[in-house]
Structure 1
């Protein structure tokens, strides 16, 4: 039997590679100079990649489950690697449409398949620590900017932008495909050593009526969760996509220093995924989300009003950790709300929120910033959105409790016993 920790390591390898998209702000200025256009035009490749990521998780979730993690992972490596190589060709030919098609469409499809491939696999290998397991893999997605942000900047300066894309495309494809070769589902009767399911006080809602992924779409809890993810993603990704230019403007950082800070953002994006998802195994998924929105609604308001660089950066890092934490908590949250059987497909459909938020968040940021010229007003708009999300999370608490009563009390404060 395969080692489940090596399964987790393989999942991290895949997510570490596709997570390089979070270093996109590092390439914004070098690429826009080549195409002689503005940053907003270049960011459309990023938006398209997130759009096609979400569309892929929505419509190919069942296909990924049927093919299994190994074949799906290999497909992800081919799509993502080809997308980055094509983006390099677009830069070389100075063809912006080819850049959009390669990075946004092909790369986005690779992102979506690569994101899904290991997740349900890990939940099956780690029934005793669902939050921790998915957090480990998705942590790699967040940590990626720490590695690839400075690497990108260095390659741009040493070999040029087009050649940098060629090198990175081959690197990503190789790591993703090699990592995928070890992935597989556990045996049907698999239980981790020392894990006794009968001694676990369930954190799961009654899911008897969820006999198909389509049934989940008819529940209010699906749409509550979808909306919470949309707002959390839109707010976080708006900051991440503008991080390097924002720090150069607000804190007067050099491009190299801003790129280094993007790397540190990647640390908090990654740490947030493992920290918040592991914490949610004990505090409950929904209380963790409620705290996210309470803190972020205040942080977005305070961010442009700070009087010191370190305060600005601290708030930024915590916001990014909560952005990453939302993704890491989601698979376990979906499992709690809808059961394990259709978790992969339902999780993919919730991630359709990512497709829309990936365009809505950065676009809203760009529009408000362009119209007002004010970082304070721009971030204030997101603060209001996050306050609305806080209200929705509290309504979800009330509605689910009222509907299911004592059956869901551990969704909000799970108690795990003897889970090895």
Structure 2
């Protein structure tokens, strides 16, 4: 299913809302912690067991993005958004059946496996298209869309809490909440499917960003280095960024998945414990910070550079974790503020990575490269929740409670961020031996190097400047 090509004069600013319709829906994944306590009580699960649907969902997100990245590039964003809609909504419907029949494996299969495929395909569906629409501001463009994934829980968290309060937190109430989620998100994601467009070949169809001197319909070779997806995974830059993303995500996702129980535990032994509704509100606040970080920090990266912004994410993030570990239980404002900063860095890291990839590998197959890199998210989706939940369960079994359930986990996260910081420092421009030309069939005669030596020279100079930055 190919998306219609935008006609001349069609506003490129209609593409981000289409992307947001999908990302705001699949961003519900970050509100999973609202369902953890009811599921644990209704089905007799441990914290580690109740994290399985979320963990599997993130694993499938990365794997489906990696294997589906090339298909998304080939078939276009409308096809990808349609697949995401079907899988994500079907996952909720299967989960509803599992909750109604108290068959937890169906919830894991539905929300984790089927829904996770929808997460992955939906997540990468607009990225390449947005970068093509906004070649002048790639960080901002991808940030606008990807902030929707971070902000999905801002809607889903209070909405889910209200449904559980209205329907009941037993298995039938959980089933009904899952059912409403599945049907509602199908309708909302359909808006994105119908609205999305790809840019035409003419410069004016891309929002008038490039020079209008080229003839209508002419295709120009992208400036700067161009690396194919297959070649990119052979470069050290790809694997350095894989480590950067994996460490940043592991450190953030473990706490995000456990957010509601964590804030409750941290202040359970104080004179002002945190209520269930307040914990859900905390999850919504984290979602707002996640969302704001995606657009704010990624836009800032257009000004200060990708490497510098990741230095901030990883270095300052480690400092915030240290403050929570050492003094988080002494002050709710301190705990909340540090958590909000961490989640803004977490979201910013996701939104900035496509632009980082574009800077290093070019736009030729950036969507497919991004999909492969998201396997780091799959790994982190297992590691983060596993570290936090497993250690908390062991500490609880040893008779500990309150903030002491999480102290060791927090120090482990600091170490992971330090590893990511080192990997970011090792990123260098991609060696020219990895560069590949766009296939000759995609060139116009006037684009070929032998026809335009001056143009080729200028493009090389621009690439050299970009690499030095």
Q: Compute the TM-score of the two structures, normalised by the length of structure 1.
A: 0.92
186-195 vs 138-147, greater mean Cα deviation: 186-195
Residue 135 of structure 1: how far off its partner (Å): 0.3
Aligned-partner Cα distance in 2 for 1:359–1:409: 39
Match of 2:195, SS state, is: coil
Match of 1:128, SS state, is: coil
Residue 400 of structure 1: how far off its partner (Å): 4.0
1:178 matched to 2:191:
yes
The answer on whether the counterparts of 1:304 and 1:312 sit within 8 Å (CA) in structure 2 is no
1:161 matched to 2:169:
no
Counterpart of 1:418? Answer: none
Residue 98 of structure 1: how far off its partner (Å): 0.7
Q: Compute the TM-score of the two structures, normalised by the length of structure 2.
A: 0.82
Counterpart of 1:417? Answer: none
Alignment length (residue pairs) = 404
Match of 1:54, SS state, is: helix
Counterpart of 1:41? Answer: 49
Counterpart of 1:58? Answer: 66
5+ unaligned residues in a row in structure 1: which ranges? 199-203, 414-420
Aligned-partner Cα distance in 2 for 1:270–1:302: 23
1:233 matched to 2:249:
yes
Counterpart of 2:230? Answer: 214
Query: How large is the Cα RMSD of the aligned pairs?
Result: 2.1
Aligned-partner Cα distance in 1 for 2:344–2:211: 31
1:114 matched to 2:122:
yes
The answer on whether the counterparts of 2:81 and 2:121 sit within 8 Å (CA) in structure 1 is yes
Residue 371 of structure 1: how far off its partner (Å): 3.4
CA distance 1:379–1:132, shift in 2 (3 Å): same
Residue 407 of structure 1: how far off its partner (Å): 5.5
Counterpart of 2:286? Answer: 265
The answer on whether the counterparts of 1:84 and 1:165 sit within 8 Å (CA) in structure 2 is yes
1:355 pairs with 375, 378, 381, which one? 378
The answer on whether the counterparts of 2:246 and 2:380 sit within 8 Å (CA) in structure 1 is yes
Residue 412 of structure 1: how far off its partner (Å): 7.3
The answer on whether the counterparts of 1:7 and 1:182 sit within 8 Å (CA) in structure 2 is yes
Aligned-partner Cα distance in 2 for 1:53–1:231: 17
1:256 matched to 2:277:
yes
The answer on whether the counterparts of 2:321 and 2:413 sit within 8 Å (CA) in structure 1 is yes
Aligned-partner Cα distance in 2 for 1:30–1:180: 33
Aligned-partner Cα distance in 1 for 2:72–2:224: 26
Aligned-partner Cα distance in 1 for 2:133–2:223: 21
Counterpart of 2:422? Answer: 391
Counterpart of 1:382? Answer: 413
5+ unaligned residues in a row in structure 2: which ranges? 1-6, 168-172, 213-221, 268-272, 434-460
CA distance 1:221–1:205, shift in 2 (3 Å): farther
Residue 193 of structure 1: how far off its partner (Å): 5.0
Aligned-partner Cα distance in 2 for 1:196–1:110: 34
Q: What is the CA deviation profile of residues 323-377 of structure 1, one whole-angstrom value per residue up to 9, with x for unaligned ones?
A: 1101100111111110101000001001110111101111012223333453222
Equivalent residue runs for 1:287-306 within 5 Å: 287-306=308-327
